[in-house]
Amino acid sequence: MLSRTEQVAKWRRELRTNDKTFIKSHSNMFHVNINHQDADDVQLLNNVIRGYKRGDSRFTSTDTMYESIRTALDEHMEEIYDFVHDETIKPGQKQAFETDMSLYTDDPVGTGFVTESLSKTSPFDNGQKIKAVTSYAVGFAISKDPNQRDGYCLISAYPLTQPTTDETKESVHLEDKDLSPLLKKTYAYQHKDTSPVWRIGARSACNDPAFQNQQVYYSSFNHSVTICSPLFPQQGIASVIRQSPNGNLMQHYASYAMKQTPAGYSRVETSNLINPAAAKTAAPGLVELTEQIREETGNIQQIIPNKKSGQYNPAERKQKIKNLKPPRYHETDPDYDYT
């Protein structure tokens, strides 16, 4: 039986002699080819915006893909050996590795998209954005499998969008781009059952220029989107659009204040309702955008406050309570997503 040093040296010789043969002998590469080579930008963005992945990416070319995987395997060969021969690790267990490719090449290895949100199932709640990614780092994951050659299987490899080490964090570049043209081509956006409220939140998250002068806070829990005017740093006018479980859409204007939460993002607290005419005087851009959305959607009922009290009249309050009570449901994020 070869020692650790001898076995690692043997694997490295085989890898460097014919990288494609070595890589394919440890993986059928089907997942990598389909998801991180053949996928286009629309598919990648759809996976992020729909909540399937926190980040998704593809290699810039097939040659770059094999070169990146070869370099990453070579760099982590000792760790792979230790993983395979660690008796405390059971068959089927997985481990991920990261490599900074900027040490080996000046060119990016891949591009993609990632959400600022910590939860992949809520990719743009509370004003979180979707970022375009240019990656100079690669990640790969292996699974312990005694039936495979050398005792492990390469289950995935991908340009990094969510680096976890200090070495790779500097090699993943995030950028705010107008992704709305791509967004509107995605299956998630085009599906006939997609909520208009969701579409508004997604457009803002993808930096649609229509929302560039407004702050937009989407809530998947409350089925609502709050569009805020930039009138004051701490308070101003908000346009709230909500969807009830039965599909009814309602909109109203209100004053608001920003509350800083422990999670580090601002939460919108709406208070008194205001008349559309008053809202137009205070925030004409906000009202213009809201009217455009209402015109595009065509089925949003506007709630107008009682002139005397400035609040809902009794009929509107009853309708609000009946239609806008959100369902008590929330999904949790899995511990790790082996992309």
Could you list the beta-strand ranges (E) of the chain: 55-59, 94-100, 110-115, 130-135, 137-144, 152-159, 172-175, 215-219, 224-228, 235-243, 249-260, 266-274, 300-302
- Residue 146 buriedness (CB in 10 A; 0-12 / 13-18 / 19+): exposed
**How far apart are the C-alpha atoms of 67 and 159, rounded to whole Å?**
12
Q: How far apart are CA 240 and CA 225, in angstroms?
A: 6
Distance CA 203, CA 210 (A): 9
Residue 2 half-sphere exposure, CB side, CA atoms within 13 Å?
11
What local confidence, expressed as pLDDT, does residue 232 receive? Answer: 52
Which contacts of 328-331 are long-range, i.e. CB under 8 A and separated by 24 or more positions?
329/221, 330/221, 331/119, 331/121, 331/122
Instruction: Annotate 138-164 with DSSP letters as a single string.
Output: EEEEEEE-TTSGGGEEEEEEEE-SS--
pLDDT on residue 235: 64
Question: Which residues, at least 6 apart from 136, have a Cβ–Cβ distance to it below 8 Å?
Answer: 100, 101, 102, 105, 108, 109, 171, 172, 173
- C-alpha span between 319 and 93 (Å, rounded): 52
Per-residue pLDDT, 259: 63
Global pTM reads: 0.85
Tell me the pLDDT of the chain (339 aa) as tens digits. Answer: 899 999 999 999 999 999 999 999 999 889 999 999 999 999 999 999 999 999 999 999 999 999 999 999 999 999 999 999 999 999 999 999 999 999 999 999 999 999 999 888 899 998 899 999 999 999 999 999 999 989 999 999 999 999 999 999 999 999 999 999 999 999 999 998 899 999 999 999 999 999 988 889 999 888 899 999 876 545 688 999 998 877 889 999 998 876 655 454 556 777 788 899 989 988 899 999 999 999 998 889 998 886 544 444 555 555 544 444 333 333 333 334 445
